[in-house]
Chain A
Amino acid sequence: MVTRILDRLIWWIERLLAYAFIAAVGLNFINVIGRYGFGQTILSADELQIYIMVFMTFLGAAVVAWRNHHLRMDVVVNALPLPLRRLVRMAELAVIVILTAFVLWNSAYYAEQMFTIGRVSDMARVPMWIPHGAVAVGFGLIALIGCLRFVQALTGRPLGVGKFGTET
């Protein structure tokens, strides 16, 4: 059940990020055309593109975690015997949960501070708790994924495959 919900959520995040990214490309292109064609630019465009990249980075990292595609150097660990490899995997999941929960707490506090003081960006007037909150949400999702996988590994249940063909 949790796997299915997460799978659908991740699918939607991936789609939204893809459209947001296309919008960032469009904004940049419009600014280039505006500068040379009409002598005008959208002043807030650079900020908006950066915030889209912030979302791509941290929410995208959750999507990558769900797909098990994070970059790693697995040459040594792959040479270990299977029981030892499982042990390392369990340790890795535990470390992931602890660390990402720590960043979630840290970033959520920071975003809350931004919200409390009502800070907005210089040009686009974007409330700053939104891009800062993306860090918390991204790491929160990774923590959730880590928890799910840790429980699955602990109970020895076979890893499921989500509706969208995702390895979980």
Chain B
Amino acid sequence: MSFALGVLPVVLLLLGFPIFIVLLASVSVALVFFMHMPLAALHQNMFGSINAFALLAIPFFVYAGELMGRGSVAQRLVDFVQAGVGSVRGSLAVTTVGTSAIFGAISGVSAACVATIGRIMYPAMRRAGYPEHFAAGLVTAVGAIDIIIPPSIPMIVYGAAAEESVPRLYAAGVVPGLMLSLMLAGYVMWFARRNSIGAGEAFKFDHFLRATARGVWALGMPFIILGGIYGGIFSPTEAAAVACVYAAFVTRFIFRELGWRDIVEAASVTVLFSAQILIIVACAGVFSWLLTVNQVPAAIVAWLQSLNISAWTFLLTVNVILLAVGCFLDPLSAILLLTPLLVPLVKAFGIDTVHFGIVVTVNLAIGLFHPPFGMNIFVAQSVLGLELRAIYRGIIPFLVIYLIALVLITYIPAISLGGMRFLLGVN
């Protein structure tokens, strides 16, 4: 059995087989050769994993982001943040951070953030005299905030895998996301001051009002999503569907930038992206069921308890594993593969599963731009035509900032849980 559930998936994963096939191979071999169970369990569990209303939030949020990402929404957000930032030293870099944070509250797909914001901000920063490696590193790294600030697709997937509430996870992601944004903004301001990079235009209230008026429809999206969920009006899935209709309405009728064909095209892109994820969700559901039936998590818990390690050490180990995994695997696949194994251990150590969900998300967010294989590195390379060397060099200081934030978020649960309790109004 350890061959089917341990050796086989690792070997196939390393050989580059599609992840859903890796999981399917593992469960099929276990069911056919090692277990005496009806084979119908394979179909039942696969179908049952997808037969969940909460999972609809994934394609809905992707679609809303896809619609808002087309046209001038990003430019309007940039103008709004830039007008608000005013003459702060390093205003363009601060605008990049601020716009990405707001974009994160609209989209939830990190690569889209890097491509959309990067296309606007990278040339602007270069024209303003920012070094190539700094601008490249910033636009590549800042997109990772997107999956920490709600709505976050990885949090929905974690919620499904760990049987944890998505609104609680979203509420817990707000403060870590904002904290990271402030840390990044602080660093870029310090960098600009040290390198005497020019400040922006002085703050002008009428200019700010104009930019706000242009951006107000785009800024309305986070209010609908988060206000709807925490106002008790919608479930996350309903908030996502309302966000889709809002995005289609704004881009079609207010901005007049998308035609019906674009709206269908965006749906088509969403279907393909969602299918990539959901087929893994389906197969991971069977894999997770097999692990539970064979008492694998319980055996690992017992083994760890026999080692007498502390929760502190456990979290450190998990962080190292997740950072390593995040360098090679996309966040959603990593969550689906590891959550069924890790969550029973987390519970055994008395760690809050919401707090752990945020730790997992931040770890995998770092993996998105961690050299050498972080996905956002290649997005920045292809969209902005940058050299890998410049990106790698530029990423390092931002990587350090993210790692400091990760340590704080891991060992100070109040950063995530405090925000959650405040937003949900619970003790």
Contact residues in B for A86 (Cβ distance below 8 Å): none
Using A21-B271, A56-B274 as known contacts, say yes or no to A70 and B56 having CB atoms under 8 A apart: no
Contact residues in A for B56 (Cβ distance below 8 Å): 24, 28, 49-50, 53
Which residues from 1 to 60 on chain A have a C-beta closer than 8 Å to any C-beta of chain B? 14-15, 17-19, 21-22, 24-26, 28-29, 31-32, 36, 46, 49-50, 53-54, 56-60
Are B272 and A67 in touch, CB under 8 angstroms? yes
Using A21-B267, A29-B242, A103-B43 as known contacts, say yes or no to A71 and B275 having CB atoms under 8 A apart: no
Are B268 and A15 in touch, CB under 8 angstroms? yes
Select the stretch in B132-140, B316-324, B326-334, B414-422 that faces chain A.
Answer: B326-334
Which residues from 294 to 340 on chain B have a C-beta closer than 8 Å to any C-beta of chain A? 328-330, 332-333
Closest to A53 in B: B56
Are B264 and A60 in touch, CB under 8 angstroms? no
- Closest Cβ of chain B to A51, distance in Å, is 9
Contact residues in A for B329 (Cβ distance below 8 Å): 73
Contact residues in A for B14 (Cβ distance below 8 Å): 73, 76-77
Contact residues in B for A56 (Cβ distance below 8 Å): 59, 271, 274-275, 278
Contact residues in A for B245 (Cβ distance below 8 Å): 25-26, 29
User: Interface residue tally of chain A, by bracket?
Assistant: 35 or more
Contact residues in B for A50 (Cβ distance below 8 Å): 50-53, 56
Contact residues in A for B226 (Cβ distance below 8 Å): none
**CA A143 – CA B220 in complex, angstroms?**
45
Which residues from 211 to 242 on chain B have a C-beta closer than 8 Å to any C-beta of chain A? 233-234, 237-238, 241-242
Are B15 and A132 in touch, CB under 8 angstroms? no
Are B28 and A58 in touch, CB under 8 angstroms? no
Contact residues in B for A26 (Cβ distance below 8 Å): 245
Which residues from 47 to 75 on chain B have a C-beta closer than 8 Å to any C-beta of chain A? 47, 50-53, 55-56, 59-60, 63
B contacts with A: majority SS: helix
**CA A25 – CA B237 in complex, angstroms?**
10
Closest to B327 in A: A75
**CA A14 – CA B275 in complex, angstroms?**
11
Using A28-B56, A50-B56 as known contacts, say yes or no to A73 and B275 having CB atoms under 8 A apart: no
- Closest Cβ of chain B to A14, distance in Å, is 6
Contact residues in B for A77 (Cβ distance below 8 Å): 14-16
Are A32 and B241 in touch, CB under 8 angstroms? yes
Identify A71's interface contact among B18, B44, B244, B265, CB under 8 A.
B18
Which residues from 241 to 273 on chain B have a C-beta closer than 8 Å to any C-beta of chain A? 241-242, 244-245, 263-265, 267-268, 270-272
Contact residues in B for A31 (Cβ distance below 8 Å): 238
Contact residues in A for B237 (Cβ distance below 8 Å): 28
Contact residues in A for B333 (Cβ distance below 8 Å): 71, 73
Is A69 part of the binding interface, using a Cβ–Cβ cutoff of 8 Å? yes
Identify B39's interface contact among A59, A92, A96, A106, CB under 8 A.
A106
Is A147 part of the binding interface, using a Cβ–Cβ cutoff of 8 Å? no
Are A22 and B59 in touch, CB under 8 angstroms? no
**CA A96 – CA B16 in complex, angstroms?**
13
Contact residues in B for A99 (Cβ distance below 8 Å): 21, 24-25, 28
Is B280 part of the binding interface, using a Cβ–Cβ cutoff of 8 Å? yes
**CA A49 – CA B51 in complex, angstroms?**
10
Is A95 part of the binding interface, using a Cβ–Cβ cutoff of 8 Å? yes
**CA A131 – CA B359 in complex, angstroms?**
36
- Closest Cβ of chain A to B223, distance in Å, is 16
**CA A21 – CA B271 in complex, angstroms?**
7
Identify A95's interface contact among B17, B63, B279, B373, CB under 8 A.
B17
- Closest Cβ of chain A to B287, distance in Å, is 13
Is A135 part of the binding interface, using a Cβ–Cβ cutoff of 8 Å? yes
Is B46 part of the binding interface, using a Cβ–Cβ cutoff of 8 Å? yes
Contact residues in A for B264 (Cβ distance below 8 Å): 15, 18-19, 22
Contact residues in A for B55 (Cβ distance below 8 Å): 53
Contact residues in B for A63 (Cβ distance below 8 Å): 271-272, 275
Is A157 part of the binding interface, using a Cβ–Cβ cutoff of 8 Å? no
**CA A26 – CA B40 in complex, angstroms?**
34
Mark each residue of chain B from 10 to 48: 1 if its CB lies under 8 Å from any CB of chain A, else 0.
001111111111001100100000000001101110110
20 contacts between A and B (CB under 8 A): A19-B267, A21-B59, A21-B63, A49-B53, A49-B56, A50-B50, A50-B56, A57-B282, A60-B274, A61-B279, A63-B275, A70-B18, A70-B19, A70-B276, A73-B333, A77-B14, A92-B16, A96-B18, A99-B24, A99-B28
Other A-B pairs, 20, CB within 8 Å; known A50-B53, A64-B279, A70-B276 = A17-B271, A18-B268, A21-B63, A22-B264, A22-B267, A49-B53, A49-B56, A56-B278, A57-B281, A58-B279, A61-B279, A64-B276, A71-B333, A73-B333, A74-B16, A91-B15, A92-B15, A110-B43, A131-B47, A135-B43
